[in-house]
Amino acid sequence: MKVYISVDMEGISGIANMEDVRPGSPRYERGRKLMEEEINAIVEHLIEKGVESITVNDAHAFADNLRIENLHPHVQLISGYPKTLYMMEGISPDYDIVFFVGYHASAGRTHGFLDHTYSSMVIHEIFLNGQRLNEAYINGLVAAYYDVPVGLISGDDVLYEESKHLFPETEFVVTKVSLTRNSAILRHPRRVYRDYRSAIDRIIKKEIKPLSIPDRLEFELVVRDTLMADRLEVAPFVERMDGYRVRFSASNPIEALKMLRTIISVAR
Ligand SMILES: [Zn+2]
């Protein structure tokens, strides 16, 4: 069995505020250590269960948070920036299952802990086919494009509430109860690791199907300021709707993710 793990930081257990996830801040070293420990807890259990191959993709900020020397020797690590598919770089039909670890709620979701979607700097809100979009869902569609199911998602309870209907077969691990964008009731990491172990035991026993990809992928995006929308008019696939709002559509999830990444680069 081959497992692909995309790791973000906001939803890691013990991460308590913005300073824990911001490279350069005094609290950041603590945050990345928690991230490494959580990954190791998951990897150790996967190995116990007989998983042969585990790829970890660092998917937070500039994707150089995890240090290979601090990870279990069984993993290969995708590290560094830029990478074309960013949070899903390296995904392929070779994998049997993907995990999304340390994820968070979509931009604009009330009381979502450190809520954002792909770029806090550019994206105020984003909708796919009329539904508020989070990173787990677009990344899950990218995995589905390669016929790979999402086995596990972890993060705060608001992420769970907004995602459970989209991933009916996926196991969730709730790492914290979100109070506001910058505060949460933290569950102890060791209890969270125990939940990962039980979730993995259930995943191994069940058959999980990849997400079904909608026929149309129509995005509506509200950017942070009108100058960003002005800049985006240069992209031939982008249609300006009003001061802050643009739309675009993609024929498949890979194209969609590449368009989104282009939009973020151009708008900045
Ligand atoms: Zn994120």
Ligand 1 center from residue 99 Cα (angstroms) = 14
pLDDT band at 215 (very low <50, low <70, confident <90, very high): very high
Host H or E run for residue 208: none
Ligand 1 center from residue 78 Cα (angstroms) = 16
Ligand 1 center from residue 103 Cα (angstroms) = 6
How far, in Å, are 85, 221, 228, 255 from residue 240 at the CA level? 25, 10, 11, 19
pLDDT digits (tens, 9 = 90+) for 135-179: 999 999 999 999 999 999 999 999 999 999 999 999 999 999 999
Percent of the residues in the chain that have a pLDDT greater than 90, as a whole number: 100
Ligand 1 center from residue 101 Cα (angstroms) = 10
Q: Distance between terminal CA atoms of the chain?
A: 40
Ligand 1 center from residue 192 Cα (angstroms) = 20
pLDDT band at 19 (very low <50, low <70, confident <90, very high): very high
Quick one: pLDDT at residue 94? Answer: 98
What does the pLDDT average to over 220-227? 98
Quick one: pLDDT at residue 174? Answer: 98
Ligand 1 center from residue 52 Cα (angstroms) = 28
What does the pLDDT average to over 109-125? 97
Quick one: pLDDT at residue 79? Answer: 98
Percent of the residues in the chain that have a pLDDT greater than 70, as a whole number: 100
Q: 242 and 233 in contact (C-beta within 8 Å)?
A: no
pLDDT digits (tens, 9 = 90+) for 193-204: 999 999 999 999
Ligand 1 center from residue 104 Cα (angstroms) = 6
Ligand 1 center from residue 58 Cα (angstroms) = 11
Torsion of CA 195, 152, 126, 260, to 10 degrees: 130
Q: 11 and 178 in contact (C-beta within 8 Å)?
A: no
Ligand 1 center from residue 87 Cα (angstroms) = 8
Ligand 1 center from residue 105 Cα (angstroms) = 9
Question: What are residue 127's DSSP bridge partners?
Answer: 132, 220
Ligand 1 center from residue 60 Cα (angstroms) = 6
The domains located in the chain, with CATH, are 2-117+134-205 (3.40.50.10780), 217-267 (no CATH)
What does the pLDDT average to over 231-252? 98
Quick one: pLDDT at residue 142? Answer: 98
Quick one: pLDDT at residue 39? Answer: 98
Ligand 1 center from residue 223 Cα (angstroms) = 17
Quick one: pLDDT at residue 100? Answer: 99
Quick one: pLDDT at residue 42? Answer: 98
What does the pLDDT average to over 230-239? 98
Ligand 1 center from residue 126 Cα (angstroms) = 14
Cα–Cα distance for residue pair 61/38, rounded to 1 Å: 18
Quick one: pLDDT at residue 158? Answer: 98
pLDDT band at 183 (very low <50, low <70, confident <90, very high): very high
At residue 188's C-alpha, the angle toward residues 184 and 190, to 5°, is: 150
Average pLDDT, the chain: 97
What does the pLDDT average to over 204-218? 97
Ligand 1 center from residue 107 Cα (angstroms) = 10
pLDDT band at 17 (very low <50, low <70, confident <90, very high): very high
pLDDT band at 15 (very low <50, low <70, confident <90, very high): very high
Beta strands in 11-149 (DSSP E): 53-58, 75-78, 97-103, 123-128, 131-132
Question: What are residue 180's DSSP bridge partners?
Answer: 183
What does the pLDDT average to over 108-129? 97
